[in-house]
Amino acid sequence: MVSRCYCECSYINLTIPQQFPNTHKSNNSCLALHAYLLVLPTMTHLFYADLMNVLYDKNHYKLVLGQINIYGISLYRCKQLKRASLGRMCTIMKRQKQSLEYLEQVHQHLSCLQTIDPNTRTLLLCGYPNVGRSSLINKVTRADVEVQPYAFTTKSLFVSHMDYKYLFYFVILFQDGTCLSRFPALFHQKIIADLTVEGIPVACDKLLSDRVHGKMKGKKVHDVLNRLHLAVPAKRDEKVRPPFISEGTRIGRKTVEVDAPKRKTGDGDDYILDLQSICIKNKYDVIPEIWEGHNFSDYIHPKIMKVSGDLEKEEELKEKAGEYKTGEDEEMQEIRQLAKQIREKRKLKIVCSKDKDVHCPRLPRTVKKVMLKETLEKEMGDLGLDMTGKDDSHYAVNARRSRSVGVAKKRKREASIAPTSRTRSQIVRVGDERQSGMAKKAKKLMKSQQKDMNCQGKKGEADRHVFDLMPKPIFLWQENVRNKR
């Protein structure tokens, strides 16, 4: 749970040693602030988020964390300044004294909170002030909550537990009802009762019956069915059936009792304590009588061998009579054979594609070369499909309508015209709206990527020149002139 990590938090010393250089001081301060932010808890569950809002004001808590984070970044920037960096860092730490003290108080208070499991059966005590919630939790549990005649004495979250019918129940005393909004699953289509001292068993029974009813509606009811139903023996008649004691046992009781032999104890690593001798019912039994609440005798049939032999003979007769044979017609067998060939062909194509091992950019579907109509008919024919009379099918119509990209051809030379040095451009599909939209989008992205380059005054995308704003010869000469003066 979240509250487990609170106790492990410790106070972080933010004092800066004077003998180290400024770079080390800034790094030390940044790491200390960053570690302090990581140590503080993150409310993963909405229940703890609302509890934080009630106890510490969530907005103020987030504001203080933001201030610490911002000044941690500014300390890293101060590392680049060679002058006045130490004074700046100390001033920042003094300004954040109140924020750090507030976070330390919140951290110490959070370490005292209890661990709560929202998925356990829980009784929630909530209501108006001064109605006896603290007195109720003191009576039903061992909690020692302060009780006063005036209102608003509950200033924190009190958690305790109790046992009812051998079942464990959490009892939570809330300071405010805001946290209850994060438990919608507890109140959706469920019973809500006003709790009093006399109504505690009734509330527990209602909660238990509601949880059992929810388990019965679930998908895993067969796994927990043996835990939901408890068999209770009922009285058949008024006949008295006293326990039977044999004569040998009665004679043995009348004899003089002899002191029982002392238990043998052994020393050394080879000694093994025999615990089976203590168990009376299961003493040295290979199969115990009772195991995990189940009686083995309930699952043993007296004629199990005979019944199993009869069932085996019956199954053999059914197999010989052909009862389990599935009669499939020829058409279904052809369909199964065709499906098997298609699967094999698909596996071969996958293997061929892996052998190619292409690592180049993938082309969109509109630019890919469409499979020819003859190639498609040949492959389908090899699989056993009849492709005759398919001129009116959708793939044949699309093949006639589609315009393929023409191969670039050179212009014919003529006697009166000089030969050109460029080839004709490829035919562009004007009707393809998707391709034109992609071209516009690419052009727009190209312009947006060139804005930073144009603002920096670079020649192109390959311009990586770094200008020297302070040339060393010029500034070195000026420094020498100043020294001579």
Give me the tens of pLDDT residue by residue for the chain, a chain 485 residues long: 333 333 333 333 333 334 334 556 567 777 777 776 677 666 656 777 777 777 777 777 777 777 766 655 565 555 555 555 667 777 888 888 888 888 888 888 777 777 777 777 788 777 777 777 788 888 888 888 888 877 777 777 788 888 877 778 888 887 655 555 555 555 555 544 444 556 667 777 777 777 777 777 777 777 777 666 666 778 888 888 888 888 888 887 776 555 555 555 555 566 677 777 777 666 677 777 777 888 878 888 888 889 989 999 999 998 888 777 766 778 888 888 889 988 998 998 888 888 777 666 666 656 555 556 777 778 777 777 777 777 767 666 665 555 554 555 555 555 555 555 555 555 555 445 566 788 888 989 988 888 888 888 888 888 888 888 888 877 777 777 667 65
pLDDT of 310: 93
- Identify the pLDDT of residue 65: 72
CA–CA gap between residue 233 and residue 235 (Å, rounded): 7
pLDDT of residue 450: 87
Per-residue pLDDT at 81: 54
| 8 A C-beta contact, residue 136 and residue 197 | yes
Closest C-alpha among 279, 271, 293 to residue 166: 293
Q: Which residue is it, tokens 């300390």?
A: 75
At residue 194, the pLDDT reads 45
Predicted pLDDT of residue 192: 46
At residue 16, the pLDDT reads 38
The pLDDT assigned to 150 comes to 78
Residue 426's pLDDT is 53
In this structure, the strands spanning 122-125 and 167-173 are parallel
| DSSP element (H, E) containing 222 | none
Element (H, E) at 107: helix 97-110
Alpha helices in 402-471 (DSSP H): 433-455
pLDDT score recorded for residue 314: 92
**What is the pTM (predicted TM-score) of this model?**
0.29
Residue 479: phi and psi, rounded to 5, are -65, -40
Task: Return the pLDDT at 32.
Answer: 74
Give the C-alpha separation, 136 to 130, whole Å.
Answer: 12
Question: For the purposes of burial, counting CB atoms within 10 Å of the CB of 399, is it exposed (0-12), middle (13-18) or buried (19 or more)?
Answer: middle
Q: Is the dihedral of CA 194, 195, 198, 201 positive or negative?
A: positive
Which pLDDT score is estimated for 176?
57
pLDDT score at 313: 93
Could you tell me what percentage of the chain is helix, strand and coil, using 3-state DSSP and rounding each to the nearest 5? 45, 5, 50
Q: How far is Cα 419 from Cα 429, in angstroms, rounded to an integer?
A: 28
What does each C-alpha distance from 84 to 68, 79, 81 come to in angstroms?
A: 21, 10, 7
Residue with tokens 């860092």: 89
Q: What are phi and psi of 158, to 5 degrees?
A: -115, 130
Structure tokens at 305: 């061998």
pLDDT for res 312 = 93
Distance CA 175, CA 86 (A): 46
